[in-house]
């Protein structure tokens, strides 16, 4: 039976320990996702996890805006550094949840456990959209209102009942096709996302992967590109806001 984590008087509120933990770690965007109807990893008892805590860590906006013509070493280092922080935070959060008597398992950042189909154990973006953090753009990446797509995602599965979502099920890209026009591999198909749309309807992942390995192998063996994300207007808007605050 799924346990309730309620430590606050308001059943719709997050537990105090979780909100304080997120604040202490300076995580700016997070939420919980109901994954009852999804295929998730199994916990130690053999049951699939029904929920997940999803969070986003923003990338350096100046670095992201600087790769519109292709990745560079600064981006590769930022990518690796943010992934490292996500894995550390996810492990710490997993321990915090277990400390309170619940099952929990962190999902590693950017790990291809299925090399044939070029994917991981579970799509981080699914947990993020179900948690209400953002939607999937035409470049097959999560877009947040605050940071655009210039974020990396963390996911921690749990059986603790938390206030979830509401899920984002609408695409806010409008008629914009900047990412499609910028993709050097022509791997993006231009279809508008909706929940349940297969990845293959949006992205030819093998064409994307082959292009990166052929042209950007020096950056994590072709695991990095980022051009489609760099040109996204939602990311560039965030850059302008940050420049305004710094001036």
Q: pLDDT value at position 212?
A: 97
Q: What is the pLDDT of residue 221?
A: 92
Question: Could you report the per-residue pLDDT of 86-137, keeping only the tens digit for each?
Answer: 999 999 999 999 999 999 999 999 777 667 677 788 999 999 999 999 999 9
Residue 246, token pair as written in the block:
């710094």
CA dist 36 → 39, 81, 127, 130, 164 (Å): 8, 32, 11, 11, 11
55: phi then psi, degrees, rounded to nearest 5? -145, 155
What are 29-86's pLDDT values in tens digits? 999 999 999 999 998 889 999 999 999 999 999 999 999 999 999 999 999 999 999 9
Provide the total of helices (H) and of strands (E) in the chain, helices listed first: 8, 8
**Strands (E) located in 59-179:** 104-107, 135-136, 142-143, 151-158, 160-161
Q: Flag whether pLDDT at 7 surpasses 90.
A: no
Phi, psi of 44 (to 5 degrees): -70, -15
């Amino acid at each position: 039976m799924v346990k309730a984590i309620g430590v606050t008087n308001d059943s719709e509120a997050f537990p105090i320990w979780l909100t304080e933990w997120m604040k202490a770690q300076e995580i700016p965007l997070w939420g919980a996702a109901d994954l009852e109807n999804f295929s998730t990893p199994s916990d130690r008892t053999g049951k699939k996890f029904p929920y997940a805590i999803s969070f986003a860590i923003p990338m350096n906006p100046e670095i992201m805006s600087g790769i519109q013509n292709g990745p560079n070493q600064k981006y590769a280092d930022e990518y690796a550094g943010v992934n490292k922080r996500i894995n550390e935070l996810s492990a710490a959060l997993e321990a915090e949840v277990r400390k309170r008597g619940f099952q929990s398992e962190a999902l590693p950042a950017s790990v291809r456990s299925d090399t044939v189909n070029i994917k991981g154990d579970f799509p981080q973006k699914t947990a993020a959209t179900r948690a209400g953090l953002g939607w999937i753009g035409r470049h097959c990446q999560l877009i947040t209102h605050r940071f655009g797509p210039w974020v990396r995602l963390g996911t921690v599965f749990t059986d603790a009942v938390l206030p979830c979502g509401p899920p984002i099920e609408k695409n806010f890209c409008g008629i914009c096709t900047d990412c499609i026009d910028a993709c050097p591999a022509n791997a993006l198909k231009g279809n508008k996302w909706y929940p349940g749309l297969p990845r293959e309807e949006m992205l030819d992942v093998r064409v994307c992967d082959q292009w990166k390995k052929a042209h950007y192998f020096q950056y994590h063996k072709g695991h990095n590109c980022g051009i489609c994300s760099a040109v996204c207007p939602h990311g560039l808007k965030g850059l302008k806001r940050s420049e305004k605050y710094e001036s």
